[in-house]
Structure 1
Amino acid sequence: MTKHQTVTIDQDTGEVLEGTAVAVSAPQAPAPANPVDAMLSFIERAATDPSIDLNKFERMLDMKERLDDRAREDRNRDAERQFYADLVAAQSALPVIVKNRKNTFNNTAFADLAAIEDAAMPVIRAHGFSVSAKSIPGAEAGNQRVVFRVAHRLGHVDQFEDDFPLDNQGTGGKASKTNIQAKGSTVTYARRYMLCAYFNIAIADGDGAPQQRQSAAPQIAAPTELTASQVKTLRTLIEQTDTDPKRFLSSAKAESLEDVKPADFPRLEALLKRKLADKQAAQSTAPAEEKPAA
């Protein structure tokens, strides 16, 4: 806290007419903008303040590093979990790609990279993924190694690599491309195969229009009668609750326990269990019979 003198002076005589001491707070240093700045500020004070225990300060730094490492591991695990959750969602939403080109050498149809990416990449990007492929050294002679990389919006990355034979021969094993053309064609083939393999993209014959992936999950028919275990459960609960079997079957609209509809089993079981719980609670709170005095 500092003091400043405020005065009033007569403009004609120059005489001081009055003065007032005003207390003015000293300007405060701005607070650190983030935790890193705060830590640096503390280190600066520790370097000049002999009262700070440096051993204790070092232990604090070690603890902070461990906490930062743990937080980083947690973020990485969360990012990895979200990566695979979004991968499942993307694979479920991807359409079946229809073959749109014909190989003139062997007269077979195929889907080229452009058709695959045109149909698949909007879905893949919408689920937070980016993909890239590039050639890298390391393959044996006559092959090209390509690495395929899938990155997620939260930072998790997955990648794999494979070697592909150079596409430099045509029909009859004759050379049909220059070396650079063969390399480019090989990388294109690799991108197509790797993209389809990673995202489980299906290729099918069709009329040229993309098809939605059909669910192959079998439809499970609803049960038409109770299992032996369910019948036994109802019979046991009826006995434990002293329920009148005829009244129970009448309420269930069945002639026997075996005729009870499977859809009604959860409701009937819950009713009997509630009745059993009420009976047991009443028994536990009933006053014990007084024993005659000895």
Structure 2
Amino acid sequence: MSNVAIAEPAEARQVTSPVITNESTAMLTMIQRAATDPAFDADKMQKMMEMYERHTDRTAAAAFNAAMVRAQAEIGPVFRDKFNAQTSSSYAALESIDRKISPVYTAHCFSLSFGTGDSALVGHIRTLCDCMHEAGHTKQYHVDLPIDSAGIKGSVNKTGVHAAGSTFSYARRYLTMMIFNVVLTNEDDDGNGANNSQDPPSEPVITAGQAAQLDALLKKCTPVLQENFAAKYGCAANVYKSEFDAVSARITKSASRPQE
């Protein structure tokens, strides 16, 4: 991901600095005094340290949650700036998502670190993401995705290395959107869309009723299909009207199959 140097808002810095509260200071002072007393019981010292660690963990988690609320309030929709000719659909590239949201979440003292793990699903790759906050709390997310080795017609079109790289890139995009609740849009809200001839034309999305119809069908589909749908669209409301018939037909076909 790109590193963007920005000025951090004062209000963000005030609440996301390393968590030192009056209560924490008082507890730490008490522990320090007890440590200098040769007669103080070692078991009691251990319990005091455990109590202090639980307190700091809870405080750091609270700071993480509060900063996440502020970050998501500032992150706006991301424009679908790429077109997939195989699926005849638009999507937002990972670099576009990063360029739009990383200045916001880093200003609120978050950072992301990606890795891989063992997936319980055959033929899948598990991608991990540690969302870390300056106050000391970390929350881990993961997604299992099938290895992207074949094209839309099912024929193999990538080497093993390229397939793994494609899957990992796809998972990073999906996880980043999921962590910060990123919504994709068909309209460029950066103020340049109307005057930039290189931007693809916006398309209307489906109605609320059509979105509800797709959501009902998705509940009957496999978890893998649901994850792939979420990674591509975010939610059913983001499906283009021009795509509705084709998407509905594919999901209906999958939903009608017996689920093991």
TM-score interval (norm. to shorter): 0.5 to 0.7
Of 119, 124, 141, 1:160 maps to 141
Of 94, 97, 107, 1:126 maps to 107
For residue 116 of structure 1, report the CA deviation from its aligned partner.
Answer: 0.2
With over 3 angstroms needed to count, the CA separation of the structure-2 counterparts of 1:175 and 1:162, relative to structure 1, is: same
> Structure 2, unaligned stretches of length 5 or more?
1-28, 193-260
Of 160, 177, 183, 2:158 maps to 177
Q: Could you tell me whether the CA contact under 8 Å between 1:166 and 1:186 is conserved in 2?
A: yes
For residue 171 of structure 1, report the CA deviation from its aligned partner.
Answer: 3.2
For residue 203 of structure 1, report the CA deviation from its aligned partner.
Answer: 0.6
> Structure 1, unaligned stretches of length 5 or more?
1-33, 44-56, 212-294
Aligned residues: 164
For residue 137 of structure 1, report the CA deviation from its aligned partner.
Answer: 2.1
Q: Could you tell me whether the CA contact under 8 Å between 1:168 and 1:176 is conserved in 2?
A: yes
Q: Which residue of 1 aligns with 2:117?
A: 136
Residue type of the alignment partner of 2:93: D
For residue 87 of structure 1, report the CA deviation from its aligned partner.
Answer: 0.4
Task: Name the SS for the 2:45 alignment partner.
Answer: helix
Quote the RMSD (CA, aligned, Å): 2.5
For residue 62 of structure 1, report the CA deviation from its aligned partner.
Answer: 2.2
Q: Could you tell me whether the CA contact under 8 Å between 2:31 and 2:45 is conserved in 1?
A: no
CA distance in 2, matches of 1:101, 1:61: 62
Residue type of the alignment partner of 1:180: V
Task: Name the SS for the 1:171 alignment partner.
Answer: coil
Task: Name the SS for the 2:67 alignment partner.
Answer: helix
> Identity percentage over the alignment?
27
Q: Which residue of 1 aligns with 2:171?
A: 190
Q: Could you tell me whether the CA contact under 8 Å between 1:135 and 1:145 is conserved in 2?
A: yes
Higher RCO, 1 or 2 (CA under 8 Å, sep at least 6)? 2
Task: Name the SS for the 1:76 alignment partner.
Answer: helix
Of 178, 183, 187, 1:206 maps to 187
* Matching of residue 148 in structure 1 with residue 129 in structure 2: yes
Deviation string 1:74-107 (CA, Å, 9 cap, x unpaired) is 1111111111010000000002100111102122
Q: Which residue of 2 aligns with 1:24?
A: none
For residue 147 of structure 1, report the CA deviation from its aligned partner.
Answer: 1.2
Of 116, 129, 133, 2:97 maps to 116
CA distance in 2, matches of 1:63, 1:177: 61
Q: Mean alpha-carbon deviation: is it higher for 104-113 or for 200-209?
A: 200-209
Task: Name the SS for the 1:86 alignment partner.
Answer: helix
With over 3 angstroms needed to count, the CA separation of the structure-2 counterparts of 1:183 and 1:37, relative to structure 1, is: same
For residue 64 of structure 1, report the CA deviation from its aligned partner.
Answer: 2.1
